[in-house]
Amino acid sequence: MRLSASRRTLAAASIALAGLLATAVPAAAGVSAAPATATAAAPTAAAAAPDIPLASVKGHLTQFQSIAAANGGNRAHGRTGYKASIDYVKAKLDAAGYTTAVQQFTTAGAIGYNLVADWPGGDEGQVLMAGAHLDSVASGAGINDNGSGSAAVLETALAVSRAGLRPTRHLRFAWWGAEELGLVGSKHYVGNLPGADRAKISAYLNFDMIGSPNAGYFVYDDDAALEKVFKDYFTGIGVSTEIETEGDGRSDHASFKNAGIRVGGLFTGAGRVKTAAQAQKWGGTAGQSFDRCYHSACDNTTNINDTALDRNSDAAAHAVWTLGTAVTVPPGEAYENTGDVTVPDNGPAVTSTVEVAGRTGNAPAALAVGVDIKHTWRGDLVVDLVAPDGTAYRLKNSSANDSADNVVTAYTVNASGEPANGAWKLRVQDVAAQDTGYIDSWKLTF
Ligand code: TRP
Ligand code: ZN
Ligand code: CA
């Protein structure tokens, strides 16, 4: 038995850590990951999320305020201000290259609308959703509740477009109707999804009230891995968070959670009162509600804490980028796939695909194949590069003596006999029992 107890423990810990995102959004084990596209300057890690401009998010809030003002003071279900809000968000997304759909439903004697926007590309079998309810209550413009979440999700979606993002997972953004009448729109969406489509949703992230004037920083704890993605962001900017407890199930994530979908989200507080301890660490006023204008006429553009809105908008983008395992596109020389693929212990070969397009002629005589495989005993692994026509180039044989961890290296392959364009695969097989691992990423540099 060559695997010592301590080594096994270490291995298990590192796999658990490295696999966190895969836990949050499970990749289909043993199945080819989504084809990746070209990356600039060959970064091996997913690109960091951009800063979401606060001014842009607030610009959307100003528009929501104007829409309310022009439509009887609110953006509530069944009122003209709601449909005008849908039209506003939809136009922005259409112009940015999204595929949008408006879904209708009827509740309380009026037609309601959900807006769903898909970013073309990514693995349709692993859909990452982010959403916010777009309706207000009838008593006001609903700028914090929930213009704030709606604007942050919109600006994140627009940032995806600006970045020309080619994420591994398919991204879908949604704005829900009639949340204030009992999560009606999101329930309608989830309830009308065919079971097969429901199963493809890796996670749903919810943003409802993220600019409360007397803000707290609350993270949903429904799913540990999703919670961690948000907490990591706030830790990185030195802001402590608490678990959201004010209204478990009181927003649209409940519709997804009830259907067995992993959920996460952010919240800065509603009617509940900020404690002295919370004011100590977050600032603001103890003994006062997080949002004194919750569900009131004064929930207007002055009812926003800019710092909270800014941080939470950036956190939303961070989560979409991180969970989408994003890769920024062209123009570039390296073609990379950063999607994790589990390599089953002593089992069948698995592959990860890199799609090369738009090149002329054959691949180079010195094709660089960058490989990053995490494994607790690299001697177990047989690794091949498989050209689009199926020709296999052996990169590495198995070896009983090769006891090191991981295969993190660059191989050079004479691929001059192969047309450059097409689906290249890294094929990895684990041929001995005990030690395990996964393809972390790999890339081709032409
Ligand atoms: N839109 C929710 C509502 O009107 C706001 C809310 C209250 C909330 N408690 C929450 C949102 C907790 C998320 C989590 O009730
Ligand atoms: Zn509300
Ligand atoms: Ca093994």
What pLDDT, on the 0 to 100 scale, is given for residue 333? 65
Name the residue among 110, 358, 323 with its Cα closest to residue 223. Answer: 323
Separation between Cα atoms, residue 333 and residue 359, nearest integer Å: 10
Measured by CA distance, the residue closest to atom 15 of ligand 1 is 250
Separation between Cα atoms, residue 189 and residue 129, nearest integer Å: 12
What pLDDT, on the 0 to 100 scale, is given for residue 301? 98
Does the CA dihedral 20-26-29-35 come out positive or negative?
A: negative
State the angle between helix axes of 149-163 and 80-95 in degrees (0 to 180), rounded to the nearest 10: 20
Q: To the nearest 10°, report the CA torsion of 349, 350, 351, 352.
A: -150
Measured by CA distance, the residue closest to atom 6 of ligand 1 is 250
Q: What's this model's pTM, rounded to 2 decimal places?
A: 0.69
Domain boundaries, the chain: 24-43+330-445, 54-325
What pLDDT, on the 0 to 100 scale, is given for residue 423? 84
CATH code at 24-43+330-445: 2.60.120.260
Q: What's the alpha-carbon Rg for the chain, to the nearest Å?
A: 24
Ligand number nearest to the C-alpha of 149 = 1
Residues 6+ apart with CB under 8 A from 160: 119, 167, 171, 320
Separation between Cα atoms, residue 33 and residue 270, nearest integer Å: 41
What pLDDT, on the 0 to 100 scale, is given for residue 357? 65
- Separation of CA 54 and ligand 1 centre (Å): 22
Separation between Cα atoms, residue 223 and residue 57, nearest integer Å: 27
Closest atom, ligand 1, to C-alpha of 218: 14
Mutate which of 75, 181, 207, 209 for ligand 1? The one with the most ligand atoms within 8 Å of its CB, which is 209
194, burial (CB in 10 Å: exposed 0-12, middle 13-18, buried 19+): exposed
Q: Which residues carry out catalysis?
A: 179
Closest atom, ligand 1, to C-alpha of 179: 1
Mutate which of 143, 251, 257, 299 for ligand 1? The one with the most ligand atoms within 8 Å of its CB, which is 251
Structure tokens, 218: 């609350």
CATH of 54-325, one of 3.10.450.50, 3.40.630.10, 3.90.79.10, 3.30.70.270: 3.40.630.10
Mean pLDDT by 10 residues, the chain (446 residues): 30 29 34 36 58 98 98 98 99 98 98 98 94 98 99 98 92 98 98 96 97 98 95 97 92 98 98 98 98 98 98 98 63 75 96 77 87 95 95 95 92 90 91 95 88
Structure tokens, 424: 């290249």
Name the residue among 258, 224, 446, 441 with its Cα closest to residue 341. Answer: 441
- Separation of CA 98 and ligand 1 centre (Å): 28
Residues in the ligand 1 pocket, defined by CB under 6 Å:
145-146, 179-180, 208-209, 244, 246-247, 250-251, 267, 270
- Separation of CA 264 and ligand 1 centre (Å): 14
- Separation of CA 432 and ligand 3 centre (Å): 4
What pLDDT, on the 0 to 100 scale, is given for residue 421? 72
